[in-house]
Amino acid sequence: MGTTLRMGLPALTTSFGFLFMAGAATLLFAVQPRTAPSLVPLPQTAIVPPGTMTHRLDGEYLRAGRPIDAPRVAVQIDKPLVIMRYQVTVADYTRCVAAGACKRQDNIAARGDLPATGVSHADATDYASWLSHETGMTWRLPTDGEWAHAAGTRFIDDARGFDPENTNPARRWLADYDREAARKAASDAVPRPVGSFGANEHGIHDMAGNVWEWTQSCLRRVTLDAAGRMTGETRNCGAYVVEGQHRAVMTSFIRNPKSGGCSVGTPPDNLGFRLVKEQRWQDRVPAGLRRLLPA
């Protein structure tokens, strides 16, 4: 005697619905155009956990008309920071040049494992745009605060340490001269292969070593009254904060300061960059499903 298979209406409807959805998904995958995967290797990244850091703010501060050290404040980092473990190399940048998305630099080093230097702020931004397009992820230059957070114990405080009540500007000028002279004597101006200066506690290499790095933070000038209250702030986005052995400012249009203020030649040989990757919810979707998502 045969066995009769009985199925209630709700179960039958659910089964048909499941089969319909599975068939639709199969059809959807079948009609999707298959694009060739990018040949650009993904950069090695480190994840810096969120937290609170005490950070000396970037910018030039004037109190009652006299230059003072920027204040140190508690900065809250709310989400993990994904940043390149190494500076962008010559080999990395050359791929962007070959694709026609980055400008060719005549003075770029021949060794592929050296950091890419001689790049302007616009060059670094062009590379970030190209890498974002090639990988389907969002890459950008870090802010001053993000770079300091990633540097961790390798971040060097650039304060002079003078009493803000001191009224003798000559002491500050002499301190600036002594500090820069000591740094110049101790520094090695020749870039070394990436990784030569070791990793910090986050596994990020060459922070505060090798070459300076561009950020996206514009130069700020902040004025305070005699009581220390802020009375004004201006931003100059023709100049950007650069990070390295100490914090400095570099203009985006004057490329080589050694050649004079009107120089529009090549950018400095000791200035490169690394990028931050934006964390989007799409990036956590498996690659096979990511093709189905809107751009």
* Domain parsing of the chain, residue ranges: 45-290
Phi-psi region of 208 (alpha: psi -120 to 50; beta: other; left: phi over 0): left
What is the band of 227 on the pLDDT scale with cuts at 50, 70, 90? confident
What residues contact 207, with CB distance under 8 A and at least 6 apart?
Answer: 150, 151, 152, 154, 155, 197, 200
pLDDT over 50 (residue 55)? yes
Which one is predicted more confidently, 38 or 142?
142
In this structure, are strands 51-56 and 66-68 parallel, antiparallel, or unpaired? Answer: unpaired
Closest CA to 43 of 81, 87, 80: 87
Q: What distance in Å separates the CA atoms of residue 90 and residue 88, rounded to the nearest whole number?
A: 7
Q: What distance in Å separates the CA atoms of residue 230 and residue 199, rounded to the nearest whole number?
A: 38
pLDDT over 90 (residue 93)? yes
pLDDT at site 69: 87
Which one is predicted more confidently, 159 or 151?
151
What are the counts of helices (DSSP H) followed by strands (DSSP E) for the chain? 6, 12
% the chain with pLDDT above 70: 65
Identify the burial level of 289 via C-beta atoms within 10 angstroms of its C-beta, where 0-12 means exposed, 13-18 middle and 19 or more buried: exposed
What is the band of 156 on the pLDDT scale with cuts at 50, 70, 90? confident
Q: What distance in Å separates the CA atoms of residue 48 and residue 150, rounded to the nearest whole number?
A: 6
What is the band of 14 on the pLDDT scale with cuts at 50, 70, 90? very low
Question: In this structure, which amino acid lies at residue 102?
Answer: C
Q: What distance in Å separates the CA atoms of residue 166 and residue 212, rounded to the nearest whole number?
A: 31
Closest CA to 44 of 215, 214, 277: 277
Which one is predicted more confidently, 264 or 268?
268
In 180-295, DSSP assigns E strands to 212-224, 230-243, 248-251, 271-272, 276-277
Which pair of structure tokens corresponds to residue 209? 């070593």
Query: Which range has highest mean pLDDT (19-33, 80-94, 188-202)?
Result: 80-94
Span 112-134, pLDDT tens digits: 999 999 899 999 999 999 999 99
CATH among 3.30.70, 3.90.1580, 1.10.3470, 3.40.50 for 45-290: 3.90.1580
pLDDT at site 173: 58
Q: What distance in Å separates the CA atoms of residue 271 and residue 105, rounded to the nearest whole number?
A: 13
What is the band of 293 on the pLDDT scale with cuts at 50, 70, 90? low
Looking from the CA of 96 toward its CB, the CA atoms found within 13 Å total 26
pLDDT over 60 (residue 234)? yes
**Residues 220/173, Cβ–Cβ less than 8 Å:** no
% the chain with pLDDT above 90: 48
pLDDT over 70 (residue 172)? no
